[in-house]
Structure 1
Amino acid sequence: MTEFEVIQKFFNFEQKLSKSIIQSIGDDCAVLDIPNNRQLVTSTDTLVSGVHFFADASPQQIAYKALAANVSDLLAMGAKPLAFTLAMSLPEIDPDWLKAFSQELQAQAKHYRINLIGGDTTRGALSITISVLGLVKKGRAVSRSQAQIADDIWVTGNLGAARAALKLHKKAQLNADEQQLWLALTRPQLAASFARKLAKFATAAIDVSDGLLADLGHILVQSKVGASIDVEALPLSESLINHLSLEAARQSALAGGDDYQLCFTANKKHRAKILTQTQKTQTQVTRVGIICAQGLNVLLNGEPYPITENSWQHFNRDA
């Protein structure tokens, strides 16, 4: 099959286009119309075989994770998903693989109400690059730079399960707890409904992709503040604790990546509003710390808590 036959057969989705999408797949460029009271936000992530997903991962797992990882960035900005582009490097044209990949991608695109509007395919080692576009009200995008001293620090969902699941890759049979961890890694559940109101109360936000401490650290740097984290408050699933131990689960929650949950800061006056939003959207949200003047203090019962695991870095500065 040629490149254009692949696009026509597998990626010319039937989809209900937003009023902001004037021209989608079929021309050299897509054409978007941005409403007067909105701003466009965009982000790009590349997923590489053997780095972001196991080389033997199923096409469904890859499609799910690739789109979720990118939509997660939009949610952290308080943006409504609008459209995405897809660029793929493929070692060969495998119709069965492409069919499974495209079906899952289309299903997730429908779930997040985001439209595929273009992309590219080329021959090479398997990698997936997705660029997402979203809309926010003018001046309402949630950045990493506006956290204020005394703000609460919140996270959605549970943390640490995806990291623990990495060691389950080659295990033939998974028990019930291990299956839950594996799902956390391969099919992370985004706090999409909750994020729709994020701009109403969050002063700063980020998605947890490299680990809570690493990603919260980006907020602290951009906002020029510090933070204090209460280890006892970390949201840990029973499956994670059963599989590891309470101590190991805490370390995994602090350093583990691939959770794709939201970490955000908010003024204390918004606690009731946040809890109301959690109830409306049936989203688990936990207050895990507070913004302070400087430093990143990790405490257990008021005492410094030793960190024994490192968060993910693509380029180790010691290498």
Structure 2
Amino acid sequence: MTILVRRLASLLVTLLVVSLLIFTVMDLMPGDPASIMLGTSASPDTIAAMRHQLGLDLPLALRYGHWLAGIVTGDLGQSYTYGVPVAGLIAERLTVTLPLALIAVLLSLAFAIPLGALAASHRGGPLDRLASVVSQIGVAVPAFWVSLLLIMLFSTTLRLMPAGGFPGWDAGFWAAIEALLMPAVALALPQAGVLTRVTRAAVLSTIHEDFIRTARAKGLSARAVLWRHAMPNALIPILTVLGLQATFLVGGAVLVENVFNLPGLGRLALQALSQRDLIVMQDVVLFFTALVIIINFIVDLAYLAIDPRLRRGI
């Protein structure tokens, strides 16, 4: 069995185990969705009828089997609260969450990779000290607090950016990007702090290798040595951190979307939690978890592409 097949099998098993854990935890949460939907004045018979209608009176194993079969066929169920298919809800909210996450990742990479690499190549200099301060601030400051500071500065004081809300992509591309820019910066700053530190450490460990000395002996410029030789060999630890940051990006999106009142998946998850909409909660949490697992699977494939030594088992 090749490395690729083994990792794909591991991905599928992990998703199956995670789905079972999510379903079990959600079922054990206090509160009855039927009682919450009908209110405290509802009679026991009415609540029992609602539970039967929602399928909540079925055995746990049978409900899990129905839910899993629906996921495989693309039927994520019907929202208890909204009365619409959950797949449509998730697809609608993804038009906000995915661009937000993508912009945050691009901002983080565009800032952290050059800063970390240049800090390593100028070790002990002013740029290195600046990178150290910036990375420490990024690691220490939570995303929701950065969100509040950005709103106070750019919305309340300078009145340059909208304080929250999302006009929709129908309002125009730039109007939508403007609404996502501050939330993306708030998400990107903590990620950039970690990535700057890891990039600096990875490049520092690479620039003392023999092949770097050989490149310098051939007369290559410091810039060429850094970007053509040191950086490609420092990518594996950087990719590792990018995969791990997917988890923090998902968690940060939940908080940031609520601070900026964005109609994304994170806000949908909190709304479903407050309304005890089990099916929406299960599907959204599973989607987030599957996204993180798949991103880490892609990172594993990137390892194989970057390091030929890892491809010997293929």
Q: TM-score, normalised by structure 2?
A: 0.21
Higher relative contact order (CA 8 A, sep 6+): 2
Structure number with bigger Rg = 2
Structure with the largest fraction of strand? 1
